[in-house]
Structure 1
């Protein structure tokens, strides 16, 4: 990654509103760049803007060294294209809590932002997405309290109010003067 780039991993449980807050922060901070993830799911599956690929294509691209970081979660493979991390500026990616040790090893100056919300809010948002069954939602809620790996102290954004409040909290967490 370029020496003048600042990299933020946005992590948190499903339904916390990460994609919504990232989109709002990008509108508020025109210089903010989002890394478009490569995911082994169909591109028309909804949700975030991502590049959908087959598991075979993902494996070939990984073997070719195209990803700066990759991980598995929820039965899918996720990758961050190395080329997307080369330009200077402030860069964010929607990451996985389980992949943070690998991410911090690769990017020691990485700043972790944990976006979270109360379980009732998460359940309502997950149900509204219409992508998961009731059983899937229960499993996601059971994982919502997944602890971050030891030694990681994130900046925390509680997304329990309006979208504008959540975006303002994320924008504040992206500021360089934050500890």
Structure 2
């Protein structure tokens, strides 16, 4: 059994984080994707403990006050966070725990768990990132512009991460991410 580790994956919207993580989960048998907690109401098809842990605002804030989150933030009136207990439980069981969170959350995790391995996914270029975002066809020009501004801020913090990879070829980026996770897991 390998030693459990925590990998925090961040990067601008449109860099392919979700796709890379899905492929990583297929290729690394002991990898586990952390489930976040939220105070928002479940959407159709979402399952408790699979999609999110759905908590009341009071439950969430009480848990936050007790140090029960590795990171948390409030967006649009709802709270979102990474429960510490489930991450620690899965790491203790020898799992490679994967968190997909934004940069500010990743830096909060680094403060609470300095042993975490932070991975930053970069686009090949800003032009390609904008092309990907517009190619989705799901967001207005204003939303794409906002995501591009956010991407610049996130990219300015990439040097805070332990490992950075450019997702310009999905197969190669997957290979690099899987190799990094396996290398860290084998070192322990």
Give the drift of 1:137: 1.0
Q: Give ranges in structure 2 of 5+ residues lacking alignment.
A: none
* Pair member with larger Rg: 2
Deviation of 1:170 after TM superposition, in Å, equals 1.4
**1:80 paired residue among 67, 82, 90:** 82
Of 33-42 and 64-73, deviating more is 64-73
Deviations 1:100-144 (A, max 9, x none): 332112101011100010223322333344543211111111121
Aligned-residue offset at 1:156: 0.7
1:167 aligns with 2:174: yes
| Alignment match, 2:128 | 121
Contact 2:72/2:82 (<8 A) preserved: no
Alignment of 1:19-34 (within 5 A): 19-34=18-33
**Pair 1:42–1:131, CA change in 2 (3 A):** farther
Aligned to 1:148: 157
* CA displacement at 1:84 relative to structure 2: 1.9
What do you get for the CA RMSD once the two structures are aligned? 3.0
Taking a change above 3 Å as real, the CA distance of residues 67 and 142 of structure 1, as seen in their structure-2 partners, is same
5+ residue gaps, structure 1, are: none
Mean Cα deviation higher: 5-14 or 77-86:
77-86
Equivalent position SS for 1:10: strand
CA distance in 2, matches of 1:149, 1:168: 20
TM-score when normalising by structure 1: 0.78
Within 1, Cα distance between the matches of 2:53 and 2:138? 16
SS in 1 for 2:183: coil
Aligned length: 170
Q: Match of 1:95?
A: 101
For the Cα contact (< 8 Å) 2:36–2:52, is it kept in 1?
yes
Q: Distance in 1 between matches of 2:23 and 2:158?
A: 28
Tell me the equivalent position of 2:52: 51
The structure that is helix-richer by fraction is: 2
Judged with a 3 Å threshold, the aligned counterparts in structure 2 of structure 1 residues 82 and 153 are, in CA distance, closer, same or farther, namely: closer
